[in-house]
Amino acid sequence: MELISIRQVSTDYGISRRMLCYYEKIGLLKSSRIDNYAYRLYDKDALKCLQQIIILRKLQIPMKQIKSILNNQNAIEIIEIFRQHIDGLDEQITALSTVKSILSSLVAELQEKADIHLKLDLLNDKSMLAVVSALSFSENKIKENVSMNELNKASETLSKPEDKDVRIVYLPPMTVAASYVSGEFEWGVGPEATSKIEQFVWDTGLLEIKPDARGMGFDCTKEDLSPEIVKKPTAYEAWVSIPYDMEVKPPLVKKTFGGGMYAAHVLRDWNFQQDWHLLEEWVRTSPRYEKRGGPCLEEILNYRNMMQKGAQMEDTQLDLLLPVKERTQ
Residues 6+ apart with CB under 8 A from 148: 135, 136, 137, 138, 139, 140
Question: CA dist 300 to 5, 52, 187, Å?
Answer: 46, 42, 18
Instruction: Please tell me the distance from the alpha carbon of residue 273 to that of residue 154, in angstroms, as a whole number.
Output: 16
- Report pLDDT digits (tens) over 105-140: 777 777 766 555 555 555 455 555 555 555 544 444
- Are the beta carbons of 162 and 91 closer than 8 angstroms? no
Instruction: Please tell me the distance from the alpha carbon of residue 285 to that of residue 160, in angstroms, as a whole number.
Output: 12
User: What angle (nearest 5°) sits at the alpha carbon of residue 196, between those of residues 295 and 262?
Assistant: 20
- Are the beta carbons of 238 and 215 closer than 8 angstroms? yes
pLDDT at residue 223 is higher than 70:
no
Beta bridge partners of 299: 216, 319
- Are the beta carbons of 34 and 41 closer than 8 angstroms? yes
Q: What element of type H or E holds 194?
A: helix 189-204
pLDDT at 228: 44
pLDDT at 53: 86
pTM reported for the whole predicted model: 0.63
pLDDT at 138: 43
> What are the strands, taking DSSP E only, across 68-189?
167-171, 174-182
Q: Residue count of the chain, please give it.
A: 329
pLDDT at residue 253 is higher than 80:
yes
pLDDT band at 231 (very low <50, low <70, confident <90, very high): very low
Q: Report which of 167, 276, 178, 264 is spatially closest to residue 227, judged by C-alpha positions.
A: 276
- Are the beta carbons of 172 and 166 closer than 8 angstroms? no
Beta bridge partners of 146: 142
pLDDT at 95: 81
- Report pLDDT digits (tens) over 166-211: 999 999 999 999 999 988 766 667 788 988 999 999 999 999 999 9
- Are the beta carbons of 151 and 138 closer than 8 angstroms? no
Domain ranges of the chain: 4-70, 88-158, 167-326
Burial 174-187 (b: 16+ CB within 10 A, else e): bbbbbbbbeeeeee
| Superfamily for domain range 167-326 | Regulatory factor, effector binding domain (3.20.80.10)
The CATH number of 4-70, from 1.20.1440.230, 1.10.150.120, 1.10.1660.10, 2.60.120.380, is 1.10.1660.10
Q: Report which of 207, 297, 193 is spatially closest to residue 246, judged by C-alpha positions.
A: 207
Report CA torsion sign: 26, 30, 33, 37.
negative
- Report pLDDT digits (tens) over 135-175: 544 444 444 455 656 666 666 666 666 656 799 999 999 99
pLDDT at 157: 67
